[in-house]
């Protein structure tokens, strides 16, 4: 089976921002982030402009009628009168935030619904967290394929085999086909872990005595790295995750090899 690696499924040096997305969910998360960032920048600029106008542009004198009027000596200063009531602006500063929140809530709820939706999967993979490694089980075939996945120590990295990621390479990668709905059922054998792969937009707690599930639809081949994201003991930092997405013929060949060796 060819060792496919398209696009960085990991953080690169000096990276600012998200990893390259490989699932529709991660693309949705990035788009949602960018939309929210645009709102935040616009609101920040507007409030900064208002603050500038108040601090720099106006000087006030207190009058007996409790009205503030700009001083006249400097011609560049704008005349400003504080009205006793301003119905229009009061309505605007109530309605405008409501529309902004509504425009954020609609796509946010749609994304949350999509993240929780588990479409009828073609493959189910069971994931079990341990201190400090992961176990995987494929049970959709005549024989069960199961294996443990341990981190490869730095001194044992096989550069000739493409193992170049320190603290991220594992001895057994999880192999799944691209453009296929894959369900992951996640639990733990001891303490709480968290199964997280940033490029795939997944982060799910691995809890003892509980089954959590998520669905992945990977759109392009590659190797995608993740780590345990819940402090689980002294070696928490040394239980990485590696998902290898391949085309369907390569996946079938891998399954046949694993079944023959089972």
Do the first three CATH levels of 24-116 and 123-261 match, i.e. the same topology?
A: no
- Each domain of the chain, given as residue ranges in start order, spans 24-116, 123-261
Give CA–CA dist 160/164, Å, rounded: 9
Ramachandran assignment for 190, one of left (phi > 0), alpha (psi -120 to 50 degrees), beta (any other) = alpha
The structure tokens listed for 192 are: 């709480």
For the domain covering 24-116, report its CATH number: 1.10.287.90
Spell out the SS3 assignment of 187-215. Answer: EECCCCEEEEEHHHCEEEEECECCCEEEE
User: What pLDDT was estimated at residue 76?
Assistant: 46
Q: Residues 166, 154: contact at Cβ < 8 Å?
A: yes
Q: How far apart are CA 175 and CA 172, in angstroms?
A: 9
Residue ranges of the chain whose pLDDT lies below 50: 1-6, 61-79
Q: What is the pLDDT of residue 59?
A: 55
Nearest to 149 by CA among 244, 26, 256, 250: 244
Helix (H, G, I), strand (E, B) or coil at 73: coil
**pLDDT computed for residue 237 by the predictor:** 92
Residue 63 has a pLDDT of 46
Question: Are β-strands 174-177 and 222-228 bridged in parallel, bridged antiparallel, or unpaired?
Answer: unpaired
pLDDT of residue 61: 45
Write down the pTM of the prediction.
0.79
Residues ≥6 apart with Cβ < 8 Å to 81: 67, 68, 69
The pairing of beta strand 181-188 with beta strand 123-130: parallel
- 199 Ramachandran zone, left/alpha/beta (phi>0; psi -120 to 50): alpha
| Model pLDDT, residue 62 | 45
CATH architecture for segment(s) 123-261 = Sandwich (2.60)
Q: Using CA atoms, how far apart are residues 145 and 93, in angstroms rounded to an integer?
A: 60
Predicted pLDDT of residue 88: 79
Q: What are phi and psi of 57, to 5 degrees?
A: -80, -20
């Amino acid at each position: 089976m060819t060792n496919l690696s398209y696009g960085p499924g990991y953080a690169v040096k000096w990276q600012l921002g998200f990893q390259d997305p490989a699932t529709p969910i991660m693309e949705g998360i990035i788009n949602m982030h960018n939309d929210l960032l645009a709102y935040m920048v616009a609101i920040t600029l507007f409030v900064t402009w208002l603050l500038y106008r108040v601090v720099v542009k106006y000087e006030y004198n207190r009058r007996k009628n409790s009205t503030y009027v700009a001083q006249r000596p400097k011609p560049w200063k704008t005349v400003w009168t504080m009205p006793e009531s301003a119905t229009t602006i009061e309505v605007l500063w109530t309605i405008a935030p409501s529309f902004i929140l509504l425009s954020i809530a609609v796509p946010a709820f749609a994304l949350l619904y999509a993240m929780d939706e588990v479409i009828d999967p073609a493959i189910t993979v069971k994931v079990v967290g341990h201190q400090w490694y992961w176990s995987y089980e494929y049970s959709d075939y005549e024989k069960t394929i199961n294996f443990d996945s341990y981190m490869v120590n730095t001194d044992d990295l096989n550069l000739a085999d493409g193992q170049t990621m320190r603290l991220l390479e594992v001895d057994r990668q999880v192999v799944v086909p691209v453009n296929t709905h894959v369900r992951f059922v996640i639990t733990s054998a001891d303490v709480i872990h968290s199964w997280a792969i940033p490029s795939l937009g997944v982060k799910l707690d691995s809890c003892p005595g509980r089954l959590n599930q998520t669905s992945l639809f990977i759109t392009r081949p590659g190797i995608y790295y993740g780590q345990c994201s819940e402090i689980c003991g002294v070696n928490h930092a040394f239980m990485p995750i590696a998902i290898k997405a391949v085309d369907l013929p390569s996946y079938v060949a891998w399954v046949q090899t694993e079944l023959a060796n089972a």
